Chain A
Amino acid sequence: MESKDSVEIVEITPIEVRKLNFLIGLPDIGLVGMISASHLVESLDMKVVGYLESDLFPPVIVLHGSKIYHPFRIYQKDNILLFLSEIPVPPLAVNAISRAITKWLKEKNPSLVIPLGGIPVPNRMAIEEPDVYTVATNDTANKLIDTFSLQRLEEGIMAGPYASILMDCTKLDIPCLALLAQSFPNYPDPGAAASVIKVINKILKMNIDIGALMKNAEEIRVKSRDLMQRTSDQLETMGKSQEYDLPAMYS
């Protein structure tokens, strides 16, 4: 590892994929990214092919079926890779993770990077089916918005891990299209995750069933309460509340 403040991506088996689509599901607003990514891992029967390592991460392991896993893992199924975290991203590691992932992705020459997340809306209770807004980093990603008639996030402020990833992808000209569903800010939101998966189905021409996700929505909400609370605490330190602010600058 380069230094104790760097993040290293470890490939358990060499990852050589053509026309790579890289999905990112981190704990964020409404845990939308984590819930949708977990559903994709299960639906596609994805396998762990790598993980992230850094001294910036807390000393945490995850046990599944008595087997030890890194909390920050990379899954694969065919040409789809998925980066999933089961713990909130430590604020001090956000920029380092983003830099490491985007540098690694640049070498892999991905077709598309898709961060999956939520956008906080105060009236979420009144919304039956959340809309999904998009943020694109270059022309390739922008064309997808037009092709699939998606909605652009026109104005506003983003904070947290996805803000760093979008900035770094812009710098490195990596095609990246963030999918952000209207979501409860501090309650786990499987409904918003379902909206995100519907858009993934369109873009990646897949047919992931959201039936099981909606059927288990209450169980997901109960069992992810503590992760939601910890994530909300971490996001607060990253200035996430700024997302409610009105944009102050004219372009």
Chain B
Amino acid sequence: MPEKKKDFFDQVMDYISEFERRFDETFYSIIRPLRVSRPSWDPNRCCLVPLVEVQENPEELIVTADLPYVDKENIDIKATETSLDIDAKMRNAVRFERWGTVQREVSFNCYHKSIKLPSRVDPEKAKAEFRGGILSISLPKKVSKQKIKIT
């Protein structure tokens, strides 16, 4: 079916939506490198940076980390009111035979991640669980909100 000829208004709307799409793409390409630290490995310490997510709700922060090749006993978590450090030893080293840019064998045997928390937490009330290689840490917020009565 021949395409219906677009009127002037449709053309303008097309230009605007195309501009918005291009702007979003450019904007995200600029902010992305600032948000994600790269590279995600440290060959000198033989450590990988694990994938981590931080979710925030009114009462607590929930931090999860993907830690394959790790057993519960080999995880070390340290928290302050504003930061969280996760260190974990792998049960076997992970070998990459031809590691990307250097094309040599590299192996990793641990994970390390330091996280600056988006809210102040009470580290003494933190709880952690580890299931299926996923670590989940619940960090209650330091200042709980005061309930305000409506008079």
Contacts and interface: CB of A to CB of B under 8 A. Distances in A.
A32 to B, nearest CB: 15
B94 A221 contact: no
Interface string A175-207: 000000000101110010000000000000000
A229 B33 CA distance: 12
With a 10 A CB-CB cut-off, give which of B35, B51, B64, B134 has the most chain A CB atoms. Answer: B51
B83 interface: no
A236 B64 CA distance: 19
Q: Please indicate which of the listed interface residues B22, B131, B134 has the most CB atoms of chain A within 10 Å of its own CB.
A: B134
B60 interface: no
Contact of A237 (B24, B68, B69): B24
A11 interface: no
Contacts of B132: 125, 191
A225 B40 contact: yes
Interface of A: 91-92, 125-126, 184, 186-188, 191, 217-219, 221-223, 225-226, 228-229, 233, 236-237
Interface of B: 21-22, 24-25, 28, 32, 35-36, 40, 48, 50-51, 53, 64, 66, 68-69, 94, 96, 131-134, 136
Nearest to B70: A218
Contacts of B36: 229, 233
A91 to B, nearest CB: 6
Contacts of A223: 94, 96
Contact of A229 (B24, B28, B40): B40
The 10 A-B pairs of least Cβ separation, nearest first, read A218-B68, A221-B68, A187-B66, A237-B28, A218-B69, A222-B94, A222-B68, A233-B32, A125-B134, A125-B131
B43 to A, nearest CB: 14
B66 A91 contact: no
Contacts of B50: 225
A125 B40 contact: no
B71 to A, nearest CB: 11
B53 A186 contact: yes
A186 B28 CA distance: 18
A193 to B, nearest CB: 14
A187 B69 contact: no
Contact of B51 (A92, A187, A191, A237): A187
A1 B50 CA distance: 41
Nearest to B66: A187
Contacts of A217: 68
B36 to A, nearest CB: 6
A233 B28 contact: yes
Contact of B94 (A92, A188, A219): A219
A186 B136 contact: no
A187 B68 CA distance: 11
Contact of B21 (A92, A186, A225, A228): A92
Nearest to A185: B53
B133 A221 contact: yes
A229 B51 contact: yes
Contact of A225 (B28, B48, B131): B48
B32 A188 contact: no
Contact of B25 (A92, A125, A228): A92
B144 to A, nearest CB: 23
A54 to B, nearest CB: 15
A218 B132 CA distance: 10
B51 A228 contact: yes
Contacts of B53: 186
